[in-house]
Structure 1
Amino acid sequence: MNSTTRAPATVSRTPHTRTAILLIVGAVVVNTAFALLGTAFDYPDVLQYPVEEVLRRFHADRARITGLFLLLATGAALLAPIAVRAARLAGAGLLPRTSAAVGVAAAAVQVVGLLRWPLLVPPLAVTLADPGATAADRAAAVDRFHTLHTVLGQIVGEAFGYLLTAAWTVLIVVALRRGGAGHPVPHRFVLGRFSAGLALLSVPPILAGLLVPLGAPGADLANFIGYVAWSLWLVVFGAGLLRDSRRQARMVTDRGDCGHIA
Structure 2
Amino acid sequence: MDTRRTAALMVAAAVLVNVAFTGLGAVFDYPDVLKQPADDVLAAFRADQFAVTAGFLALALGAAMLAPVAVGVGRLSDSRAMRWSVPVGIAAAVVQVVGLLRWPLLVPGWAATAAGADPAAAAAARQAFGTANRVLGTLIGETGGYVFTAVWTGLVLAALGAAFAGRLFVVLGAVSAVLILAGVLSPLDLPLVDTANFVAYILWSGWLVVFAVVLVVRRRRTDGQVEIGSVDAGSAVR
Do these two structures clear the TM 0.5 threshold for a shared fold by scoring above it? yes
Correspondence 1:44-193 to 2 at 5 A: 44-90=31-77, 92-130=78-116, 133-177=117-161, 190-193=164-167
Alpha carbons 2:66, 2:90 under 8 Å: kept:
yes
What 5-or-longer segments of structure 1 have no aligned partner? 1-13, 179-188
Alpha carbons 1:38, 1:44 under 8 Å: kept:
yes
Q: Does 1:30 align with 2:13?
A: no
Paired letter, 2:137? G
Paired letter, 1:191? A
Distance in 1, Cα, partners of 2:41 & 2:122: 13
Aligned length: 236
Which secondary structure state, in structure 1, belongs to the residue aligned with residue 164 of structure 2?
A: coil
Which secondary structure state, in structure 2, belongs to the residue aligned with residue 104 of structure 1?
A: helix
Q: Which residue of 2 aligns with 1:231?
A: 205
Distance in 2, Cα, partners of 1:108 & 1:135: 35
Root mean square deviation, CA, Å:
1.8
Distance in 2, Cα, partners of 1:256 & 1:23: 31
Task: State the shift of 1:257 in Å.
Answer: 4.3
Structure ranking higher in helix proportion: 2
Paired letter, 1:121? V
Which secondary structure state, in structure 2, belongs to the residue aligned with residue 69 of structure 1?
A: helix
Matched residues, percent identical? Answer: 48
Moved more, 80-89 or 250-259: 250-259
The Cα offsets for residues 53-74 of structure 1, whole Å up to 9 and x where unpaired, read as 1111111121221111111100
Q: Larger relative CO (CA 8 A, sep 6+): 1 or 2? A: 1
What 5-or-longer segments of structure 2 have no aligned partner? none
TM-score normalised by the chain length of structure 2: 0.93
Between structure 1 and structure 2, the one with the greater Rg is 1
TM-score normalised by the chain length of structure 1: 0.85
Alpha carbons 1:173, 1:191 under 8 Å: kept:
no
Distance in 2, Cα, partners of 1:145 & 1:59: 14
Distance in 2, Cα, partners of 1:81 & 1:192: 24
Alpha carbons 1:16, 1:244 under 8 Å: kept:
no
